[in-house]
Amino acid sequence: MTSHNPILPFKDKNILICIGGGIAAYKVCEVISQLFQEGANIEVILTESAQKFITPLTLSTLARKPAHTDQNFWQPIHSRPLHITLGEWADIMVIAPLTANTLGKLVHGLADNLLTNTVLASTCPIIVAPAMNTEMWLQKSVQDNWQKLSQDSRYHLLHTNTGLLACDRIGKGRMAEGKEILTAIESIINTEGKRDLIGKKVLISGGNTREYLDPVRFIGNPATGKMGIALANACYYRGATVTLVAGNINPEWLNLLPPIQIITVTTAQEMESAMRSNFPLADIIFMAAAVADVKPRQYSSTKLSKQSLPSMLELEPVNDIVAKLGEIKQPSQKIIGFAAQTGDIITPAKEKLIRKKLDAIVANPIDKDNAGFASDTNEAIVITAKGKEIAIQPCTKLTLAHHIIFHSYSHFE
């Protein structure tokens, strides 16, 4: 596999950003800036009320082209109607912030401004990120509309976060952060809006395990959990019910995940217990965590002084979680393992695939630039039990996760 610059997921994609009236509109600036930097083609629509919070000039500067307003919509200055042109042009639409007013219009197919007319004139997937006061968000009429919108497969709903609102109240209603919106956009680009894992329960291990010698010293590894988080996001946006067993993953990263079940663990024994507990109901299992192979034979409940540290550390093996699960796997279950390697990545991965009774294994190098532990990008070779070998070129870990799902499960199911 030849390493080169990672593929940018947004490059040359036509992304239409639609901004509603709310203070959360400022968060969209980060999204537009990042999309432009990564080569996306961007068009922006502002509602009349959105312009009270953020100016067309700001957004035009970030997108490098004029932002569209209702003033443009009502004036016949284009050779074709503006809403038709934009609707046909877009690969994906993002409505953020989504107000209660626009939500109601979307549900009932109403169109009285540029944004809502463009929605009706388009067929692409639409990501919606609501933002409003807690009492507004929890109103029965708003929640009813939200549920109705969720039943339309064209819409991909970002749930509101809990935190300090503009009204100084702490509660639900905060709009998703810029990183969450970008994750949703990248996922929908990869899936083209399809949800091929609806009805599936997915169990993922991610991060690392720590095997302690005393309360402050441990045997560990540099795995950060970025691959596990990417898989969790990818599976969620493909429609699965997701459980992530997170080994020592940054809590701030976990807070940016969509609504999935998260079980935090520290040691290999804790990870094994969590995986075994959730394994029977899982349809697909991704074993992306870097689990310790050994642990200190003796543990001290108090910190050892430097002088009392053993000159030779006695070790004992840790259970091989993947192999244990492979032994009890049912025919309907699929287990995909990971092999982080240096040098020849294929030979040891094939050996693990057979020995651990896996359905597929993802071999990835840890001795290349922009790959391996802690990197935001990676490359891999997916090897299936049926003998298929699929090389995945350098890309973001989220895009890699989508490729892994497609080649190790969806494509061969």
pLDDT tens figures, 325-363: 999 999 999 999 999 888 999 999 999 999 999 999 999
Please give the average per-residue pLDDT across 42-59, as a whole number: 96
Predicted confidence (pLDDT) at residue 74 exceeds the cutoff of 90: no
Q: Contact, 326 vs 343, CB < 8 A?
A: no
pLDDT of residue 42: 97
Query: Catalytic site residues?
Result: 167
Share of residues in the chain with pLDDT > 70 (%) = 96
pLDDT of residue 374: 85
Range from 78-92, 107-121, 246-260, 272-286 carrying the lowest mean pLDDT: 78-92
Residue with more model confidence, 317 or 368:
317
Share of residues in the chain with pLDDT > 90 (%) = 85
Please give the average per-residue pLDDT across 47-51, as a whole number: 96
Please give the average per-residue pLDDT across 223-248, as a whole number: 97
Summarised one tens digit per residue, pLDDT across range 187-199 is 999 999 999 999 9
pLDDT of residue 237: 97
pLDDT of residue 1: 46
**pLDDT band at residue 80 under the 50/70/90 scheme:** confident
Whole-prediction pTM? 0.93
Please give the average per-residue pLDDT across 315-321, as a whole number: 95
**pLDDT band at residue 409 under the 50/70/90 scheme:** confident
Predicted confidence (pLDDT) at residue 407 exceeds the cutoff of 70: yes
Summarised one tens digit per residue, pLDDT across range 201-228 is 999 999 999 999 999 999 999 999 999 9
pLDDT of residue 146: 97
Q: Is 340 exposed, middle or buried (0-12, 13-18, 19+ CB in 10 A)?
A: buried
Q: Which domains can be identified in the chain, with CATH numbers? A: 14-191 (3.40.50.1950), 201-412 (3.40.50.10300)
Predicted confidence (pLDDT) at residue 77 exceeds the cutoff of 80: no
Quick one: angle between helices 100-108 and 140-150, nearest 10?
50
Range from 90-99, 108-117, 303-312 carrying the lowest mean pLDDT: 303-312
Cα–Cα distances in angstroms (integers) from residue 212 to residues 69, 303, 319, in the given order: 59, 11, 16
